[in-house]
Amino acid sequence: MKPIVLAGGTGSRLWPKSRAALPKQFLALTSDKTMLQDTILRLPNAQISAPLIICNENHRFLAAEQMLRAGISHGGILLEPVGRNTAPAIALAAMMALKSEDDPVLLILAADHLIEDHAAFANAIAKANSLAQADNLVTFGIVPTEAHTGYGYIKAGAANGEGFAVADFVEKPDAATAQKYLDSKQYFWNSGMFMFKASVYLNELKTHRPDIYAACESAVATTEADLDFIRIDAEAFAKCPDESVDYAVMEKTERAAMVSLDAGWNDVGSWSSLWDTSKHKDDNGNVCIGDVMLEGVNNSYINAEQRLVSVIGLDDVVIVETKDAVMVANRNKVQDIKNVVNRLKADHRPEFEFHREVFRPWGSYDSIDNGTRYQVKRISVKPGEKLSVQMHHHRAEHWIVVSGTASVTVGEETQLVTENESVYIPVGEVHALENPGKIPLELIEVQSGSYLGEDDIVRFSDRYGRVK
């Protein structure tokens, strides 16, 4: 069995923690591990091969770093040059699997779900495997605990092995219809997790959506290995239709089967979901993370990242504080966060995409102060890592080493710069920064100039493949 972990998406409903450059699957929201790490670590060990991870090109180093930190062996990180939804992503995975293995059973998982009962999950996987071996396309139906209007539903049909045939897939219902579904005990939440043989899925996709199949086939005809990453033909994949696996295959095939899953599942789709699933509520029903002080507050979720957050006399609120943003919402209105995110995107606000602290493959930087013609950053470079050889047309830089040792190249000259020493890089000068030591390099960068945007970087060489 080969796990395929879908790690795309932006998780916009969990803004301001989740952002385009650091979406929820790469955050630690439900444990001390990130959601991507938890997705793989909860898998049963028996007869499970190394997972293939599918993610956005821009998130490749996040995925690789998190696998390394958790000590997880993986079967490669497949990069999507553009997002085209789940049907094409799974097709890419199936085609790649058939290239290297003898028609494995694929376990399709989202990288951003919570599953609390790992034993029940393993039991459901075993049941689904027997159905998949018989050439069924299996979906996991979640045993509903409430009349939820935010999920699609699956109606169970006749018994099929240790599961059921799928009688129907239905869209998100209104409240009255959801209550009828709950009372009937015939309907299950659509989890977005699946299991099937690679060949069976591709045959059904080719039958029902030959356009998607053909585009994906063209995209994987030429692949390129780059460190842990697998690149496909970007131009061919860009022509692929955008379609979910539910619409493209599962709702059309006659091979659809379902296994029920009652394992404390939650798609963690909103801040209210994190309040619902938390096991650490206080006596007044509050969930507090970070430095929080409450007075007369009930049934609320408060997450403080950087500062003391005090809340007085409020009920049913969500408050999330980060280094550069504060979000306050009624707990029953958190779905509307997406409207704020859309406005941030339309206004080209940096808070849509980036946190104040931005992670790079070599380390991170934190923008701690800025004005019209200056910006101050705190930069951390991991041992042995190097920034690209680059230059800027509009800004000069002054680096002051706080701790560690820097190897700095300015023009043709390279020098070692140590604690309390500094170096100046004029406008237009080619330069590079490397940490040759065994401890992290910490430095302060002061930028000055007429334009300080991140796109004022001309890269000449880069060990991480970012030269365009």
For residue 313, what are its two tokens? 């006399």
CA distance 409 to 162: 65
CA distance 203 to 208: 9
Phi-psi group of 401: left, alpha or beta (phi > 0 → left; psi -120 to 50 → alpha; rest → beta): beta
Q: Which residue has the tokens 């409020």?
A: 314
Displacement of CA 10 from its chain's centroid (Å): 7
What's residue 206's pLDDT?
98
Query: In this structure, are residues 375 and 450 in contact, taking their beta carbons and an 8 Å threshold?
Result: no
Radius of gyration over alpha carbons of the chain, in Å? 24
Q: Which domains are present in the chain?
A: 2-266 (3.90.550.10), 280-337 (no CATH), 356-461 (2.60.120.10)
Widest CA span in the chain: 76
What's residue 383's pLDDT?
97
Give 281-293 pLDDT, tens digit per residue.
999 999 999 999 9
What are the C-alpha distances in Å from 53 to residues 39, 66, 389?
11, 12, 30
Q: What is the pLDDT along the chain (468 residues), one digit of tens a residue?
A: 999 999 998 889 999 999 999 999 999 999 999 999 999 999 998 778 999 999 999 999 999 999 999 999 999 999 999 999 999 999 999 999 998 888 999 999 999 999 999 999 999 999 999 999 999 999 999 999 999 999 999 999 999 999 999 999 999 999 999 999 999 999 999 999 999 999 999 999 999 999 999 999 999 999 998 888 999 999 999 999 999 999 999 999 999 999 999 999 999 999 999 999 999 999 999 999 999 999 999 999 999 999 999 999 999 999 999 999 999 999 999 999 999 999 999 999 999 999 999 889 999 999 999 999 999 999 999 999 999 999 999 999 999 999 999 999 999 999 999 999 999 999 999 999 999 999 999 999 999 999 998 899 999 999 988 875
Strands 357-360 and 441-449: unpaired
What's residue 468's pLDDT?
59
Phi-psi group of 174: left, alpha or beta (phi > 0 → left; psi -120 to 50 → alpha; rest → beta): beta
What's residue 467's pLDDT?
78
Displacement of CA 88 from its chain's centroid (Å): 18
Look up the pTM and report it. Answer: 0.90
